[in-house]
Amino acid sequence: MFLEKELVIFDFDGTLIDSVPDLAASVNHTLKLLGKEAKEEGLIREWIGNGAKTLVTRALANSLNRGPKESEIEEALEIFLSYYKEHMCDATYLYPDAKETLKILKAYGKKIAIVTNKPSAFVKPILEKLKIVEYIDFYLGAEDAEHKKPHPAPLLKACEIAGVDIENALMIGDSKNDIEAAKACGMQSIVVSYGYNYGEDTSMLNADAMIESLREVVYLLGIKPRVAVVGGGIAGSSVVYHLGRLGAEVELFEQKSSLVDGPPMCHLHAGGNLYREISDEQCVQLLCESIELIRLYPFGIDYRPTVIAIPTYDEGSMEDLLPRLELLQKEYAHLVSKDPNNKLLGEVEEYFELFSKEEIESLAKLEPKENPQSPKEWLIPFAKETDLSQIKFPVLFVREFGLNLFRIAASAILMLESLPNVTLHLQSRVTNITESEDGFIVEYEHKGRRYKKRVDYLVNAAGFQSGVIDDMLGFKRDRFVEFKAAYVTKWEQTRYKWPEVIFHGKRATPQGMAQFTPYRGGHFQLHGMTKEITLFEEGLVKSTPLSAQPELDKKFIEKIFVGWSSEPLKERTQKAIWHLSRFIPSFKEAKLASKPLYGAQQIPGDDDTLRAADFSFEGRRYARCEIVKASSVISMADAIVAKLVALGFFQKEYVGRRFEPSLQEDEVQELAKLLAKQREYPTELALLTTPR
């Protein structure tokens, strides 16, 4: 409605500032010297709006119970002006969001004027005291035009001074004087719901729009936030897509040559059942977030279920997990009842199922299905190949699906390339960031050349290097960084379609959890949560009081940015194979297939067991994406949108809005295969074992 406006004209009292406390004090000082009783501030508020003389006249009329004589008005006005001149900004204050709104309008090249019925002599001192004078191009007071508002003369003069046509100007005020002046000259207007207006309902003024806060002006003028996102992993890419779909101008900085090229991800974590040590609250959060992630990346999900078993040597039991599973099933039912489109993990009653030893032994006698559907059919390979003497019963079947790193990456690239308001800066290293009064200056290097970008909002999605960005800005944040690896193997002897299989175990011990993730062509990704396989000695480090960036040992940095040497790779892969073959003996025939999937991830705070985390903030314009699991990206994006609402760039209704991309599965798959090849992995890792 107001997209082409060049000049924004604000009323002063009741719109940008609340001057009632000082005006009321000046009125009561005047009445006191004239021998009259003081009046309540609320009553005086209703008299404000037509200048000092009118205010004094109304105060006298109320005290005298008659119309005052001109001589009485002149005497009172002299007292009032003399006192107000010395006390005009004792208690006057800016309305919420006034300064922030003026900053943004100025930064986006809008001309800003104040047109008020207050005498000009009082305007500049208040602007200076409240520190907003730098944002105002000019102001017109009561005596600066031939007539005061509601006459159109001051608005016409403002347009003349600014060199702007009436149709390219906008009046924002709190009273009928402002709106009637705008209507009289054909100018569009916005009325604020607060302010004075003589106690009358501003909605009856028929302005072109009514707002509750000045921050809404930014959105109504069509000003889009300029956002920089540092880091193109799944967190950064997802936030960029979400903000881009909402209309923000987004710049994404990623030092690698493509997106989502970080630590291994293989599991949706629709309930967090892999992690016994985390709280029920985190598990419920992961369940809700996983459903959101499926809707955002439908072609990046491998819809094969998970089987979880507990080794005989482990202290835990499946019965310990049962209350949590029932809680998750109940939460899933709630999500589906709230929105049937959330039924993405299968039927609610089939979310999980327990199988006894006798049932597993019976399944071992059956022939595997080429395309298993039921829980029993999925369990046949597990039943036939697992050494049942090594595990406790019952065994858990749960609809925890897989994530395909390469298909997520391909989806993210295609999604962002489709948005004209998103700019990808690949192979671009951020070298410095400085904070300004109205945003940030991002300095970066690309192919040997240096550049700068000014933005309104900064999102730190730099993953394990998030502390580097914090350090640039002097922000403190406790965090861990952990280096991890998952090993890619090929088991040519298997002829089954496997579910994912988890054998629980105590983390960072020789009996750590074993994870068996199937891909096409007999490929399996292996985790062994021991320090000789997935985890590493000195691979978990913490930030210090001197730096928000935990310092990984040089050998891990070399692995991330240079690569692995062959001997440690072979040794660790073989240990991973052995770790799994304790439970699936025939898996000992598996071989090394490629380099591992590896990288470092951050864990915010001081609890290294945290698995569900989203975000944190510094001030009004800086966000950290601190997801530990990929499924947390949507709730994180919502929190950032809420911050942009508070700044006036978006409407409140934008929080919680969802977007599902329009992608073609074959296009995603072809790009995913290309990415796997470019990153030197088997292309089978880009294929799904179980499409939706």
Residue from 11, 97, 470, 638 carrying the catalytic annotation: 11
- For position 274, what pLDDT does the model report? 67
Kindly list the distances between the CA atom of residue 523 and the CA atoms of 266, 378, 382, 496, 612, in Å, as whole numbers in the listed order: 13, 18, 16, 12, 29
End-to-end CA distance of the chain: 43
pTM of the predicted structure, to 2 decimals: 0.85
Q: Give the other-Cβ count within 10 Å of 544's Cβ.
A: 12
Q: What is the DSSP letter of 299?
A: G
For residue 614, the model assigns a pLDDT of 65
Give me the pLDDT at residue 608, please. Answer: 77
Q: For the chain (length 692 residues), average pLDDT per consecutive 10? A: 92 95 94 94 86 91 92 94 93 93 93 95 95 97 95 98 97 95 97 84 91 93 95 94 96 96 80 75 86 92 95 93 93 95 94 97 95 96 97 96 95 96 97 93 96 96 96 95 95 94 94 95 95 94 95 92 87 97 97 95 81 78 82 83 92 91 96 97 96 85
Taking 3-state DSSP, the helix, strand and coil percentages for the chain, each rounded to the nearest 5, stand at 40, 20, 40
Looking at residue 563, what is its pLDDT? 86
194-223 as b/e: b if 16+ CB within 10 A = bbbbeeeebeebebbeebebbbbbbbbbeb
Distance between CA atoms of residues 666 and 325, nearest Å: 35
How much is the pLDDT for 144?
Answer: 96
The whole-number pLDDT of residue 611 equals: 56
Architecture of domain 20-87: Orthogonal Bundle (1.10)
DSSP 347: -
pLDDT digit string, tens, across residues 661-689: 999 999 999 999 999 999 999 999 999 99
Residue 320 designated active-site: no
pLDDT of residue 117: 93
Question: Is there a shared CATH topology between the 7-15+93-220 domain and the 20-87 domain?
Answer: no
pLDDT of 49 reads: 72
Q: Do the Cβ atoms of 623 and 459 come closer than 8 Å?
A: yes
Burial readout 49-59 (b: 16 or more C-beta within 10 A, e: otherwise)? bbbbbbbbbbb
Question: Which three-class secondary structure state does DSSP give residue 514?
Answer: strand
Write the DSSP string, 24-43. HHHHHHHHHHTT-----HHH
CA angle 239, 244, 250 (to 5 degrees): 80
For tokens 């030893």, name the residue: 357
Please, which residues have CB within 8 angstroms of residue 42's CB and are 6 or more apart in sequence? none
Distances (CA, A) of 375 to 346, 352, 353, 378, 381: 11, 9, 8, 5, 12
CATH architecture label of 7-15+93-220 = 3-Layer(aba) Sandwich (3.40)
Render pLDDT for 28-67 as a digit per residue (tens, 0 to 9).
Answer: 999 999 999 999 998 998 888 778 899 999 999 999 999 9
Domain ranges of the chain: 7-15+93-220, 20-87
Phi-psi region of 675 (alpha: psi -120 to 50; beta: other; left: phi over 0): alpha
Please give the pLDDT value at position 183.
97
Residue 242 burial (C-beta neighbours within 10 Å; 0-12, 13-18, 19+): buried
323 contacts: CB under 8 Å, gap ≥ 6:
none
pLDDT of residue 438: 84
